[in-house]
Amino acid sequence: MRKGATGEYIKGCFRPVRVLLLFLIIATLAVLFKELWKRHEPAKKPVQPALDLGCLYTVQPPQGAQAWQLISFTIRPTPEEKCNVNARNAIRNKGAGGSNFRLQAFGSQEMVTGRVTHIGDDIYNATLRLTFADEYIILVILTYVNNDSLEYRYHTKAVLQHVQNSPFDLPVTSGPEPPGYTRYCTQEESGIAPGRWVECGSIPGIERCGQWQLDPVYDFDQIHGFHWLPYFCQLHHYSSDEIKKCFAKQGWSEVVFTGDSHMRYRTYHWVTRLHGSCHGCTKTHIKMVFEKIPRIEWVFDARGTRWPLTFPNISMPHEVYVHPRTRRSMFSKGLPSTVFGGKLFLMNFGHWVLRESTKTSFMADKIRAFTQAIQAMNRSEGGTKRFLWVNTVSLPWREDRAMIEWLENPSPARVAQLNSLTDRAIMDSGVQIIDAFQISNSRIGATHDQTHFAKRMERGDCGGVVENAISNVIANALCNYDAW
C-alpha cells in the first residue's frame, strides 16, 4: 500500500468516531437543558375529579302515563345524607331556582324534549307529551347550577350529569286521540305549533315523508327516518316545484335573508330548493346574490344593527364589544340599497349578541330598534312586503378553544331566554314567528360541525335534517293558503 493511500485510510477511520463524539455531546447538552427547563416550569395543579353534581337532585318518576295526555312530575333536592358534601357546598347559599335541566324522552317511534320550570323552594316541575303506547326511556340531565347558564361574558362548563333516578323507563298506555290532529296547520299555526320528531309513516292520516326527510345524508346525528310534526295539526311536505308556484302566486320575485352564518346556510338551502343546486354557494362575510328567479340575496347582519342603521331617526343602544376578534366595521353600516327591492324578508340575529351580553334591557332596546326598522322598510317604495322572523336555533354544548375563548355556542338556556324576549316583541309588531329553536333543540346533536345544521354537499346541494325541517315549516307558514 502506498504511503499516501495509507494516510487517507487512517483519516477515513476517524470520521465515524468524530460523528459519534458529536452525537454524545449533543445528547448530554439536551439532558442538561431539559433539567434546567423543568426547574423553571410553573407548578401544575393536580386535576381535580369532577364533582358529582347530579346527586343534588332526584327525579320522582310518574306512576302512570297515557298517550296524548300531558305527563307531569317533579325534580326535588336530594336529602343531604344522600348527596356528598362537596357537591352540596357547590350551590350552598347561592339561592334556589338557579338550576337548569334537560328533559328528553326516546321511544321506538318518537323523540320528545320536555319542559322544566322552577315552582319554588328549588323544586322543579317537568312536563312532556308522548303520543304512542310504547316503552320510553326518560332522561333528566342537570345542565347548570347557580344560574351559570347565563354565562355572562365568560364560558361556564355545563354539568351534563344525570340526576338521581335518571334515566328511567316509562311505559305509556293508549289514550284518546285529540280531534282533528290530522288536519293541516294554518299559516299562523305552522311556525309556532308545539311538536316533536316522529318516525315517518308511523301515524295513520299523516303525510308520508319525501326526499328532504328520508335522505340519510342529511342525518348528521345518524338518526334516520324521522320528521318534525306538530301535535295537533300536520305539515305539508312541500316539493321545490310547489314552493316555486307559491312564490310566483304571491309575487315574491326577490327574497332577502339577513342574519349570521346560520341564515347564510339557510340561504344556501333555499337556493338549492328554488334554483335546483348550490354550486355557487361560497363562503362570504358580507353579501351574496343569486340572480335567478326568484332573485335571492343574503346580507350579513349578525347583531341586528344594520337594519336600524339603514333608516334615520331610529335610536339604538350602545353596542357592547367585549371580544377583540369582533370586526366592528361589519356591523356599523346600513343595509345595501339592493334589499329595498325585496318582496319577502327572512330575518334573525342572536348568537353574536349572546357572546358578549345578556343584559335584558340591552336586548329589549335592540329588538325595539329592529322592529322599527322593519316597519320603516314596509313603508318604503316597492309595494307590500312580507316578513318572517326565524328565531335563534339551539346549539350543542362545547368545550373546545373557540367555545372557551369566543363563546361560539351560547348555552340552550341562554338562547331560550333571548328568544322569549325577541319572539314576543316581534309578534307584537305584527311579524310572524318561525320557532326554529324547538325544532333544533329536540335534535341538538344533528349539526355537521357542532354549530351549523346545514352543510354544503359535494353533489351541489345544501341541507341537513334540522334545517330541512325548519325550511319546510317556513314553506307551510308562507304557502298554506289552500287546503291540501
Q: In this structure, are residues 470 and 391 in contact, taking their beta carbons and an 8 Å threshold?
A: no
Identity at 102, one-letter amino acid code: R
- pLDDT tens for residues 266-313? 999 999 999 999 888 887 768 889 999 999 999 999 999 999 999 999
Prediction pTM value: 0.86
| Radius of gyration of the CA atoms of the chain, in A | 29
- pLDDT tens for residues 10-34? 444 446 666 566 666 776 666 655 6
Q: In this structure, are residues 368 and 277 in contact, taking their beta carbons and an 8 Å threshold?
A: no
Q: In this structure, are residues 127 and 108 in contact, taking their beta carbons and an 8 Å threshold?
A: no
Task: Report the C-alpha gap between 329 and 310 in whole angstroms.
Answer: 15
What domains sit in the chain, N to C, each tagged with a CATH number? 54-171 (2.60.40.10), 187-479 (3.40.50.1110)
Per DSSP, the three-state class of 136 is strand
- pLDDT tens for residues 303-345? 999 999 999 999 998 887 766 666 666 777 899 999 999 999 9
What average pLDDT score do residues 99-128 get? 96
- pLDDT tens for residues 203-240? 999 999 999 999 999 999 999 999 999 999 999 999 99
Take residue 221 and report the three cell numbers written for it: 346525528
Task: Report the C-alpha gap between 222 and 27 in whole angstroms.
Answer: 51
Q: Is the peptide bond before 410 cis (omega within 30 degrees of 0)?
A: no
Split at pLDDT 50, 70, 90, the class of 96 is confident
